[in-house]
């Protein structure tokens, strides 16, 4: 029976793997490249494999950290910390958003739970803005893929943009606007572990999660889920980076978003909105653009504007709040990324 079951299940798992859109896109690109330019196809495969080997230790550390945070319940400390005065809550939310190990869609039940339990919109918005820009996993991978200075600047930017957004919302609400931010029916559809997070206020923290069979099982699930998610995006991103280096003239990139163009930072921020796949895939993408002449300030603006407006992060907010709140979310993300880009550009020139 077990042998028969395994025989039946394996093709299903195999087919599910190839039905994944990212995997399918990567295979389609690779096949197309082999048909058009077989030499470059081999070079891209070699480049991608070498890049994955280089980042493997950081990749393993990142997924183990995220899995531990989920299995132990460490992630739920975040949702319990939004108490006290509005100003204090905004500061805590900004720090929590930048330092918490939540994926973009994983913030949906957190946001819903906070708003439903009476947490004010201002700290929730601070958390929404800061969370997709940086987390511990992304810091580790950004340090490995770009540089520790860029990872640090991105972390500071996440906190700063969270503070700016939170206090802006607080000011707008004091003027009498945005009193009822939630939609009448706010969906919470996401592939992440919603049920456990939704009950965050009653949850306990188990530092030694391996003593609990259910938490140990969740650890394994998170390892597999995060490993596949990060792995497929990083593989695709490194493959795209190889194509950028091979086919995009360095002079074109330098002219568009290099130091010679005074509008490089605004252009990069706007380009980040449609081009940003997710925070992990953006790391090699940004690294490749910087090698082609993208300035540090433009790179930071691209990274932060794209993170806030990327489909998973934006939909997490759009699914829950009314349109004026969502529009303000996008606006604050864009303005914050421009400010951060110019400040980091000045710093890089010192």
Tell which phi-psi region holds residue 11, choosing left (phi > 0), alpha (psi between -120 and 50) or beta: alpha
Residues 70 and 180 in one domain: yes
Residues in the chain: 350
Which residues does 133 contact at the CB level (< 8 Å), separation at least 6? 97, 98, 154, 157, 158, 161, 279, 303, 304, 307, 308
Structural domain boundaries enclosing 60: 37-349
Residues 7 and 109 in one domain: no
Q: Phi and psi for 305 in degrees, rounded to 5? A: -65, -40
Per-residue confidence (pLDDT) for residue 136, from 0 to 100: 85
Residues 109 and 25 in one domain: no
Per-residue confidence (pLDDT) for residue 331, from 0 to 100: 92
- Flag the least confident range among 27-36, 202-211, 233-242: 202-211
Residues 200 and 278 in one domain: yes
Structural tokens at position 55: 């980042």
Q: Give Cα separations from 308 to 15, 91, 301 (angstroms).
A: 33, 19, 11
Residues 43 and 19 in one domain: no
Q: Which residues pair with 172 in a beta bridge?
A: none
Output the pTM of the full model.
0.67
What is the distance between the alpha carbons of residues 258 and 249, in angstroms, rounded to a whole number? 13
DSSP state of 182: B
pLDDT at 106 over 60: no
Average pLDDT, the chain: 78
Residues 181 and 157 in one domain: yes
Quickly tell me which residue has 């739920």 as its tokens.
76
What is the distance between the alpha carbons of residues 240 and 40, in angstroms, rounded to a whole number? 12
117-139 pLDDT tens trace: 567 889 989 988 998 898 888 89
SS3 164: helix
Residues 84 and 192 in one domain: yes
DSSP state of 25: H
- The domain tally of the chain equals 2
Residues 5 and 134 in one domain: no
Per-residue confidence (pLDDT) for residue 335, from 0 to 100: 95
Query: Residue 291, CB half-sphere, CA atoms under 13 Å: how many?
Result: 15
Residues 82 and 16 in one domain: no
192-236 pLDDT tens trace: 444 443 443 345 677 788 888 888 888 888 888 778 877 887 788
Residues 14 and 46 in one domain: no
């Amino acid at each position: 029976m077990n042998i028969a079951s395994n025989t039946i299940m394996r093709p299903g798992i195999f087919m599910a793997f190839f039905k994944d859109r990212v995997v399918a896109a990567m295979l389609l690109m690779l096949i197309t490249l082999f048909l058009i330019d077989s030499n470059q196809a081999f070079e891209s495969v070699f480049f991608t494999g070498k890049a994955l080997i280089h980042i493997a230790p950081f990749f393993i550390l990142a997924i183990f950290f995220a899995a531990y945070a989920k299995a132990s319940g460490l992630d739920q400390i975040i949702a319990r910390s939004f108490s006290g005065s509005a100003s204090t809550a905004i500061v805590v939310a900004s720090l929590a958003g930048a330092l918490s190990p939540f994926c973009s869609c994983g913030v949906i039940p957190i946001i819903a739970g906070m708003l439903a339990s009476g947490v004010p919109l201002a700290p929730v918005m601070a958390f929404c803005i800061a969370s997709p820009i940086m987390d511990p996993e992304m810091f580790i991978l950004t340090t490995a893929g770009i540089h520790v200075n860029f990872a640090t600047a991105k972390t500071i930017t996440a906190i700063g943009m969270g503070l700016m957004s939170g206090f802006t919302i607080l000011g707008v609400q004091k003027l009498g606007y945005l009193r009822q931010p939630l939609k009448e029916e706010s969906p919470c559809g996401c592939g992440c572990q919603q049920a456990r997070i939704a009950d965050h206020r009653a949850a306990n923290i188990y530092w030694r999660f391996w003593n609990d069979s259910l938490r140990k099982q969740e650890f394994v699930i998170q390892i597999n889920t995060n490993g596949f998610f990060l792995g497929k995006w990083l593989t695709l991103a490194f493959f795209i980076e190889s194509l950028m280096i091979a086919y995009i003239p360095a002079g074109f990139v330098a002219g568009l978003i290099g130091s010679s163009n005074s509008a490089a930072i605004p252009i990069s921020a706007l380009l980040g909105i449609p081009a940003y796949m997710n925070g992990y895939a953006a790391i090699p993408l940004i690294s490749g653009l910087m090698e082609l002449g993208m300035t540090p300030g433009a790179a930071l603006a691209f990274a932060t504007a794209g993170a806030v407006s990327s489909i998973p992060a934006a939909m997490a907010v759009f699914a829950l709040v009314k349109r004026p709140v969502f529009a303000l979310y996008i606006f604050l993300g864009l303005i914050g990324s421009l400010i951060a880009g110019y400040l980091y550009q000045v710093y890089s020139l010192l």
